[in-house]
Structure 1
Amino acid sequence: MHSKSLSATLALTSLTVGLGLTSTARADFIEDSKLSLGMRNFFFNADNHSGGADQKEWAQGFKLDYISGFTEGTVGFGVDLEGMLGLHLDGGKGMHPAINTFTPSKSDGSAESTWASAGATVKARFSKSEIRYGNTLTPNLPILVANDGRLQLQTFEGGMITSKEIDNLTLTGGQIESVKGRASTNSTGLSVSGATHGSNKFRFAGGDWKVNKALTLQYYYANLENFYSQNFLGLVHVLPITNDSSFKTDLRYFNSTSDGRNGEVGYAFNNNGGYAKNTGKVDNNTWSSMFTYSLGNQSLMLGRTQVSDNGGFVWNNDASVVNKYGRNEGEGGYSFYLFNDATVGSFARAGENTNFGQYSYNFASLGVSGLKASISYLRGDGIKAADGHGPDQHESEIDTRVDYVVQTGPLKGFGTTLRHGTYHAGNTGTADLDQTRLFFNYTYNFF
């Protein structure tokens, strides 16, 4: 596969470079290196209340990471290596769905018992700038967010540069060429929901400017060739009130327009199953605002997201749910930079106005350090019917989350996360769904 050949090439290149370094240069390259093994045990259960297929699966994942330091000199070089292994432990008869983002599927539709992949990224550092190229990239940007909601972490292939040459300003840019899904061993092109063709050119650039201690401004531009162009504006302000209380304002705006062949057969956007003024075309403005009051170990957040009427909010998706071998391998499953990206629903169709809130509590004040919990509610109204003529639709979801991380002793760092989402489809015609996710995470650091 392309991803495997790239991994082998980069690994061989990094080994050759490493062997050719002087002892002085190798010192920082090796002494600043880190080797760790991440282990995740994950149980997933989806209960469909509308007569559709349920899903119940259990798996164990391993992720070995080697992160080198940089060689000495004006330009320092390094390499990051990654190996991932997944083991399907149990799923229950008939509980592995045809369209799946948990484990890869065999040709008969059953789950693969094991799957593995490897990757590598070479990197260089100059002054306060870093450039990386490889297939282990995990961007966390307003216009592209790597998803970590299943057993394995979604990874991207391409190049990125990050510069902090100017005080209080972080600039980021690059080009992403393909993506490996969170339950896949193969790479695929980037696309949009509903399309069957992909693109190997997702170009982006932007920056975060910390105006002062309290205020950060953001701007990013992204273009997925033949699908869409997107502008993002963001503002984050934290107002201290007392020593243990604050008020945070988080404002986000996305403007997305059609690009190239978008709308043609294979390049059409399904607008998240909702209305489109121009069939298959990307045409959207989305505004979001969140306000959080924090007091001691608890916080209350209220917010609203508005999706414009012309079409749904757009974000990267895989090129096709079925790969070239004719079976699903879990390429799907993408995150986007809005609170609407809930446990079950996305709340991102044309005309949808979503009001939401979340209450969070840290139990450290009660003597249970490492234990946190939250509950949130989302309600989307004003969804335009797909045909543009029916009554407006609505949907809602309640999500709860509990996290606990062992703070001391031999199991220090061992973490457990329980997430549960109850989605009500309202009058949208989709399925009511309960979803439960249970994670056990532990990372062992060799050095």
Structure 2
Amino acid sequence: MERHFRVTAKCLLFPLAQIGLPVSAQAGFFEDGKANVELRNFYINRDFSQTNTSQSKHEEWAQGFLLRYASGFTTGSVGFGLDAIALAGLKLDSSLGRAGSGLLPRQRDGRSVDESGSLGLTAKVRASKSLLRIGTLHPRLPVAHFNDTRLLPQTFEGVHLNSQELASLIFDAGQIRQVTQRDSTDREDLRPAVASAKAIRVSKGATTDKFNFAGVGYKWSPQLSANYFYGELDRFYRQHSFSLLHLLPLGDGQSLKSDLRYASSTNQGDSNIDNTALGAMLTYSLGGHAFGLGFQKMSGDTGYAYIHGSNAFLPNFVANNDFANRDEQSWQVRYDFNFAAAGIPGLTFMTRYIYGSEIELGAGRPIGSEWERDMDITYVFQSGVLKNLGLMWRNSSLRTNHFGSDLDDNRLIISYTLPLL
């Protein structure tokens, strides 16, 4: 297996050799290369029987394979490298009446495919403390955050520059051109997330192949950091995002974390987007316990705007919902416990409840409301032959009033990561 990856890496590096890089400069590319494979077994059951929908249930079971390779860099003041990710999904159980869970791509007749796969390559260039990545991206930014909540992750195609040349200051900039959704192998153009209660309208069939972003983050102290990001989904919206994160140590294993977020989104021609989002999450930690209280408020003519299929940078973006509808305000209470404090490392528990109200559904319609309850139990083996084997059960329920679909959701996920290089 190791020989296979080194041969593959040499083949991928061949273009660099053709532009005049000596063999000695390529040594770090191979020697510092790393590879692993993640096996992800995913069962999901989403029951819509509480509401009158055309399909009462999504229920599927699938096996995923995620093979990742990250090269080192060629030597010299400017280093070159290459990353690769190969994704494959295998259907274990599904049917026409239960498909559509987001685990697997679907055929024209609505059935899930038996198997699927894709390959992503990322060229990278490093100079000093700056890194330029071109190709397949997995951004984790306030204005663009990839989604990895199903069998295989969402991927983007584009360019991303990350620079940390100045002490305590991080700069990001780039452009995203296309996206491959979690349950697809096709690259497609970008569009905003749209839901009826958000009141977001876009021109019929309109998409774009351009999302520009830039931002700076500054660490004022070990306990306080702030960032500003600008995102522009060409033809649809412009967004300014601010966040402030502070950790206050209280002594004796206690702390208070404050996470404050603000975003303003305006339309850019092919949409009516007009939204201001304010969010806050306070978390008090004591030993293995963590108690959280969150608040989120939408205002403007529409709900919150973000790229379709991606994660929203909101404190109340949770398992099944974003609580980001027009004029919606929502509260979250959350409790976490890390059983390492009780002598069981690797075992964690989380539960939360979010209630949203004041949702503007349009003239002549009543004000909407909704709530969601989530619970996660996770265990990761810490040693022995099963080390790195993770087990997770997620149970959640969503209820809406005057709009949307109710659902009960159960997910069982078994994951195992095996280092190869």
TM-score norm. by structure 1 comes to 0.87
Shift of 1:13: 5.9
> Which of 282, 299, 312 lines up with 2:290 in the alignment?
299
In the alignment, the residues of structure 1 paired with residue 295 and residue 166 of structure 2 have an alpha-carbon distance, to the nearest angstrom, of: 34
Shift of 1:15: 3.2
Give the aligned length.
400
Equivalent residue letter for 1:339: P
Unaligned runs of 5+ residues in structure 2 are 1-8, 195-201
1:398 and 2:391 equivalent? Answer: no
Residues 34, 18 of structure 1: CA spacing in aligned structure 2 closer, same or farther, 3 A cutoff?
A: farther
Shift of 1:417: 1.6
Give the structure 1 partner of residue 357 of structure 2: 381
Q: SS of 1:73's equivalent?
A: coil
In the alignment, the residues of structure 2 paired with residue 167 and residue 37 of structure 1 have an alpha-carbon distance, to the nearest angstrom, of: 35
In the alignment, the residues of structure 2 paired with residue 24 and residue 77 of structure 1 have an alpha-carbon distance, to the nearest angstrom, of: 13
Shift of 1:342: 1.6
Q: How does 1:264-279 map to 2 (within 5 A)?
A: none
> Which of 80, 87, 91 lines up with 1:88 in the alignment?
91
Equivalent residue letter for 1:302: L
Q: How does 1:178-327 map to 2 (within 5 A)?
A: 178-194=178-194, 195=202, 196-259=205-268, 261-263=269-271, 281-317=272-308
Shift of 1:11: 9.8
Shift of 1:446: 1.0
Summarize deviations over 1:248-288 as a string: whole Å, max 9, x none.
111000000001x323xxxxxxxxxxxxxxxxx00000000
> Which of 435, 441, 445 lines up with 2:409 in the alignment?
435
Residues 89, 349 of structure 1: CA spacing in aligned structure 2 closer, same or farther, 3 A cutoff?
A: same
Equivalent residue letter for 2:344: V
Contact 1:307 1:348 in 2 (8 A): yes
Equivalent residue letter for 2:26: R
In the alignment, the residues of structure 1 paired with residue 247 and residue 348 of structure 2 have an alpha-carbon distance, to the nearest angstrom, of: 22
Q: SS of 1:187's equivalent?
A: coil
Give the structure 2 partner of residue 273 of structure 1: none
Contact 1:131 1:161 in 2 (8 A): yes
Equivalent residue letter for 2:278: W
Contact 2:179 2:188 in 1 (8 A): yes
Contact 2:190 2:208 in 1 (8 A): yes
Give the structure 2 partner of residue 7 of structure 1: none
Q: SS of 2:304's equivalent?
A: coil
Contact 2:258 2:280 in 1 (8 A): yes
Give the structure 2 partner of residue 269 of structure 1: none
Equivalent residue letter for 1:351: D
Shift of 1:18: 5.4
Shift of 1:92: 4.4
Shift of 1:341: 1.6
Give the structure 2 partner of residue 413 of structure 1: 388
In the alignment, the residues of structure 2 paired with residue 13 and residue 91 of structure 1 have an alpha-carbon distance, to the nearest angstrom, of: 37
Give the structure 2 partner of residue 274 of structure 1: none
Q: SS of 2:340's equivalent?
A: helix
In the alignment, the residues of structure 1 paired with residue 343 and residue 366 of structure 2 have an alpha-carbon distance, to the nearest angstrom, of: 51
Residues 294, 123 of structure 1: CA spacing in aligned structure 2 closer, same or farther, 3 A cutoff?
A: same
Residues 368, 188 of structure 1: CA spacing in aligned structure 2 closer, same or farther, 3 A cutoff?
A: same
Equivalent residue letter for 2:112: A
Contact 1:138 1:145 in 2 (8 A): yes
In the alignment, the residues of structure 1 paired with residue 417 and residue 270 of structure 2 have an alpha-carbon distance, to the nearest angstrom, of: 43
Comparing 249-258 and 432-441, the one that deviates more? 432-441
In the alignment, the residues of structure 2 paired with residue 214 and residue 165 of structure 1 have an alpha-carbon distance, to the nearest angstrom, of: 21
In the alignment, the residues of structure 2 paired with residue 156 and residue 302 of structure 1 have an alpha-carbon distance, to the nearest angstrom, of: 33
Contact 1:156 1:178 in 2 (8 A): yes
1:74 and 2:65 equivalent? Answer: no
In the alignment, the residues of structure 2 paired with residue 237 and residue 365 of structure 1 have an alpha-carbon distance, to the nearest angstrom, of: 24
